[in-house]
Amino acid sequence: MKNYLLRHLQNFFGSLGSMSRQLIPTAMTIAVIGIALALPSALHIMVLNGNAIAGGWEHIRNFSVYLTPGTTLDYAERLAVEIENHDSVQSVTVIPADKALEEFQQSAGFGDVMATLDKNPLPHTLVVQPVVDAPPATLRIIEAQLLTQEDVDMVKLDTEWVIRLNAGLDLVQRIVWIAAILLIGAVIIITGNTIRLDIQNRRAEIEVSKLLGATDGFVRRPFLYIGFWYGLLGSCFALFLLGTGFMLISGPVERLSGLYGGGFQLLGMNQSTALAVFAGGLLAGLGGAWSAVARHLSDIQPRV
């Protein structure tokens, strides 16, 4: 067991030494792998920041229920409880008419005009927040049920926008997955082609090793470690690119947010994204090395 572990340790560092002897080709391969890993990660981070800028998709899906003017606040609260009991509804907020009038006066600047009115013309309003996975068809059913209520004047539900929102979310998610799969495939091909060239350059050495009795596993091991190093170093370079890109754009984004009176903080790379980059890089590096070794190593046989 000691000799087995020692042999693995020698191959582990020996493969890194063989890569360092071809510094420029190795650096170029690592750079290409890093760029391929960084692209889907950057797209994922952009989606997270888009959700944050929009204030969350759940807020956009909210719809309002306007009651008939003169309806009592007790009825509005009872109706809110009834709506909230629906499986597709997460919460219901009651906005009393007096509070709505106060906010309207402050935001619209019509305080003097509204003060001349004998009574409050605004109705009580219910703001309904559906659950995240509520389908548009269910929201339409809720709308139809509410409109049958005697004291419900109007339901403001933009179902077309909800449909477009769901389609947009699905499209972005699919783009991220497709990009990730394609670029991981590219990393496998790049690593496999690099290992194949290394195998051809060391063909004579492999023939001599097999002639002396080396097994396929013994010959295969250094190339697998080379694939491991390519995946690991490529992942580190991808994280470096993501971190550098975040630092370059964080300042302009904060200044732009300040000009619009917002306090948006750019979301950087989180722990799950970093782990996904490392896992994808290592698996792709080992997968590319294994595919190259499996295809080309068996073709090299010692000539007696």
pLDDT of residue 114: 56
Say whether 117 sits in a helix, a strand or coil.
Answer: coil
Find the range with the poorest average confidence among 5-14, 122-131, 258-267: 258-267
pLDDT of residue 238: 92
Question: Does residue 34 register a pLDDT over 80?
Answer: yes
| Owner of token pair 């969350």 | 56
Find the range with the poorest average confidence among 26-30, 107-111, 127-131: 107-111
Spatial distance between the Cα atoms of 37 and 234, rounded to a whole number of angstroms: 8
Spatial distance between the Cα atoms of 212 and 304, rounded to a whole number of angstroms: 11
The residue among 115, 118, 122 whose CA lies nearest residue 97 is 122
pLDDT of residue 240: 93
CATH class assigned to 62-133: alpha beta
Q: What is the pTM of this model?
A: 0.62
- On whether the CB atoms of residues 57 and 165 are closer than 8 A, the answer is yes
Where does the pLDDT of residue 235 fall: very low under 50, low under 70, confident under 90, or very high at 90 and above?
very high
pLDDT of residue 117: 61
Query: Where exactly are the structural domains of the chain?
Result: 2-56+165-296, 62-133
Find the range with the poorest average confidence among 13-27, 70-84, 280-294: 13-27
| Owner of token pair 């690119």 | 241
Report the range out of 7-11, 106-110, 129-133, 164-168 with the highest average pLDDT.
129-133
The residue among 5, 298, 15, 29 whose CA lies nearest residue 189 is 29
The residue among 85, 87, 98, 79 whose CA lies nearest residue 155 is 79
The residue among 133, 137, 286 whose CA lies nearest residue 220 is 286
Residue-wise pLDDT for 125-148, tens only, equals 988 888 877 777 888 888 888 888
Where does the pLDDT of residue 159 fall: very low under 50, low under 70, confident under 90, or very high at 90 and above?
low
pLDDT of residue 132: 72
The residue that leads in pLDDT, 218 or 171, is: 171
The tally of CA atoms less than 13 A away on the side-chain side of residue 125 is 15
